Structure 1
Amino acid sequence: MAEPILIEGQRAWLKHYGESSRALALGLLNFVARRFRLDALRPPPHRGGAQAREVEARRLVELKAQGVNVPEVIGHGKAALVLEHTGASFNSCLREADAATRDRLVAAAIDAIAEAHRGGAYFGQPLPRNMTWDGSRVGFIDFEEDPLEVMDLEQAQARDWLMFGDGVARYYEDRPQALKAMLAGAMQVADRPVVEHAHEVTGRLRRLARVLRRAGRSGRALAHAILVVHAATSFACAALVVLCLDWLADGELDLLALLT
């Protein structure tokens, strides 16, 4: 739980870390992810109290060193951190935006995630509620879990795209092609193992997506996320195959010559 506070007239956040009570739900999710080989969706350990505070403090230092826009730690207690204010809730910004502004916000978030990935970073849950917007930069918050405890970096980065797609899909129910186009652009420059893993996971979930489309708004949003991310990664995977065939044909990338 986080609450706003003032320190010398400046807004900050006091985040308390309670004891974890999600063992049963996380155990079930882990069983399902293992059973259906959804490695990127395996849940990391969710600790509470001082352990959760230590994980978040460490991850914030790591991400800051990788150039990611995350809050500075201003102070700490036994099971609490005082964090810098980095902007308005990204979720609120998306809710209040018109279609054109929403596209600009989502494009900025996609660029920020892609840039962080290029620097070797990963997030865990880059959902709109765990992001901020200061008018020019996207920020990221909430790092009390570490996906690398249960998966490798490529899987963690694939997880980021799956989580982000799930978080923003609800804002694109009427315009899924717009979201697919933005994500496809990011997938074309992402590392191949990341794209392939995201494609593999969403491919296994497509049958579930067809069921979820008839299961209310939340179900439709998740279904849209699965299908949109799968379509975006399909385009990227196809582009990689074409480039490989082009190279094998004569040892040169003729497709790139057409773009110069």
Structure 2
Amino acid sequence: MAATLVRRVEADGRVAWRKTYSDGGTRRRIAVLRWVARRLGANALLAPIPLGPAEACRTEQAMIRRLAALGAHVPTILHAGETELLLADLGPTLSQTCRDETNAEARAALVALGLQALLELHRRGGYLSQAFARNMTLRDGRVGFIDLEEDPATLMPLAAAQARDVLFYAHSTARFLADRPGAHAGLLAAHLAQESPAVRAEVSHTARRLAVLAPLARPFGARARAVAEALVSLRQAAG
């Protein structure tokens, strides 16, 4: 899989991001993850086939253009080279905004904004590369999508790619609502009720397969506990 180096620069007096792709050398890890996903029967967790630098750069350009055509908020491509992109700034990440927010109710509202953005994208037939909160931005109440160098639909159906968005987002946001028991699961349940039946079925199937891992993850630090919380939330939300 291609690795990326992202640097903050100025372009025409505005903040921009120069993204350079290189060989990441993580193919063995990806192969293991793909094997685990297949053993679990979880299509939505299949990792995309590793790409070289040039192909990852082309994939991100294609994903940006596809999402832009659907009306999604994505970076403008200011310049494109064979293994480098210059992208316009969309503001701070949703993950950082949640970390900076000290009010629990306000954090829940931020997590809900991300879910609403995913729902709107899915209704238009779109999906993301890795829908972690760190790959979403928030400025003036508008959610944007960044880091789009993977195309999950190259190896899974649309419903699985969209379910993957929900699963990744749930994993990356559970820790922000850890001080409000049940709040995360409630937001996910409300979201899933509005997704298509096919997406709900994919999330439910994967959540059931992963539920056994929740007790095993809790003893291994804050990040592992966040994973456990996400798994419990998904299981509760999926029914």
Superposed pair shares fold, TM > 0.5 = yes
Query: Does 1:83 find its partner at 2:87?
Result: yes
1:180 corresponding residue in structure 2: 185
Query: Which one of 45, 61, 64 corresponds to residue 60 of structure 1?
Result: 64
Displaced runs of 4+ in structure 1, greater than 6 A? none
**Bigger helix fraction:** 1
Contact 2:104 2:177 in 1 (8 A): no
Aligned partner letter, 1:149: T
1:136 corresponding residue in structure 2: 141
Aligned partner letter, 1:86: L
C-alpha distance in 2 between matches for 1:180 and 1:5: 39
C-alpha distance in 1 between matches for 2:230 and 2:181: 9
Identity %: 35
C-alpha distance in 2 between matches for 1:88 and 1:65: 23
Contact 2:132 2:169 in 1 (8 A): yes
Find the residue that maps to 1:17 and give its secondary structure: strand
Shift of 1:20: 2.8
Find the residue that maps to 1:204 and give its secondary structure: helix
Query: Which one of 33, 45, 60 corresponds to residue 41 of structure 1?
Result: 45
Query: Which one of 213, 219, 222 corresponds to residue 218 of structure 2?
Result: 213
Bigger Rg, structure 1 or 2: 1
Shift of 1:46: 2.7
C-alpha distance in 1 between matches for 2:212 and 2:11: 51
Contact 2:37 2:43 in 1 (8 A): yes
Query: Which one of 99, 108, 120 corresponds to residue 125 of structure 2?
Result: 120
Write the deviation string for residues 158-178 of structure 1: whole angstroms up to 9, x where unpaired: 111000000001112222411
2:76 corresponding residue in structure 1: 72
Aligned partner letter, 1:64: A
2:207 corresponding residue in structure 1: 202
Aligned partner letter, 2:34: N
Which shows bigger deviation, 220-229 or 42-51? 42-51
> What is the TM-score of this pair, normalised by structure 1?
0.87
1:149 corresponding residue in structure 2: 154
Aligned partner letter, 2:140: G
Aligned partner letter, 1:13: W
Contact 1:56 1:145 in 2 (8 A): yes
Query: Which one of 168, 173, 182 corresponds to residue 168 of structure 1?
Result: 173
Shift of 1:100: 2.0
Unaligned runs of 5+ in 2: none
Find the residue that maps to 2:48 and give its secondary structure: coil
Write the deviation string for residues 67-122 of structure 1: whole angstroms up to 9, x where unpaired: 11111111012210011111112211111102122112111111000000000000
Between the two proteins, the alignment pairs up a number of residues equal to 234
C-alpha distance in 2 between matches for 1:204 and 1:91: 27
1:102 corresponding residue in structure 2: 107
Unaligned runs of 5+ in 1: 235-260
Aligned partner letter, 1:7: A
C-alpha distance in 2 between matches for 1:127 and 1:56: 16
Shift of 1:198: 0.5
Find the residue that maps to 2:23 and give its secondary structure: coil
Aligned partner letter, 2:26: R
> What is the TM-score of this pair, normalised by structure 2?
0.95
Write the deviation string for residues 137-175 of structure 1: whole angstroms up to 9, x where unpaired: 011101111101111000011111000000001112222
Query: Does 1:232 find its partner at 2:233?
Result: no
2:10 corresponding residue in structure 1: 6
RMSD: 1.0
